[in-house]
């Protein structure tokens, strides 16, 4: 079997942010714009100036057998570690995953004249 890539989204709400964490997040908000978000191994962290909610987007590769639960657990662990490293309180984590092997690829038809 080959590896399976999942795209995992972790959504949550900030909770109990300290004044210093709030100031740091606001100072960096432009670098965390949703429009620049991509699914990457290290994750893309997005939020807006309200500092109410956040999203992480991860590309998680699971070797061997497809395992959505493993992909979700990996992404959750990465998000929690990132939030804790940044001293950001959080709550209400909600995760969703898409197995990229399940996405049909549409190819352009060539005109044969």
The confidence score (pLDDT) of residue 1 equals 59
Neighbours of 60 (CB within 10 A): 22
The confidence score (pLDDT) of residue 15 equals 96
The confidence score (pLDDT) of residue 107 equals 65
Residue 51 CA: distances (Å) to CA of 25, 63, 65, 89, 95? 8, 36, 38, 11, 19
- pLDDT tens track, the chain, 113 positions: 588 899 999 999 999 999 999 999 999 998 898 777 889 999 999 999 999 999 999 999 998 877 899 999 999 999 999 999 999 999 999 999 999 887 776 666 655 55
47 found inside a domain: yes
Please tell me whether the overall predicted TM-score, pTM, comes out greater than 0.95 for this model: no
49 found inside a domain: yes
The H-or-E segment that residue 45 falls in is strand 44-47
111 found inside a domain: no
Neighbours of 63 (CB within 10 A): 10
DSSP character at residue 56: E
Look at the chain and report how many structural domains it folds into: 1
Q: Rounded to whole angstroms, how far apart are CA atoms 68 and 66? A: 7
CATH value at residue 14: 3.30.1280
107 found inside a domain: no
- The parent domain of residue 11 ranges over 4-102
Backbone phi, then psi, for 8, in 5-degree steps?
-115, 130
């Amino acid at each position: 079997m080959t590896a399976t890539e999942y795209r995992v989204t972790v959504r949550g709400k900030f909770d109990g942010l300290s004044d210093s964490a709030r100031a740091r997040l606001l100072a960096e908000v432009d670098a965390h714009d949703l429009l620049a978000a991509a699914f990457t191994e290290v994750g893309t962290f997005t939020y807006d100036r309200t500092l109410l909610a956040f999203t992480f987007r991860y590309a998680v590769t699971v070797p061997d057998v497809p395992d959505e639960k493993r992909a979700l657990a990996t992404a959750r662990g990465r998000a929690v570690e990132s939030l804790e490293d940044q001293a950001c309180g959080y709550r209400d984590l909600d995760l969703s995953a898409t197995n990229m092997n399940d996405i049909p690829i549409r190819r352009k038809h060539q005109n044969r004249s």
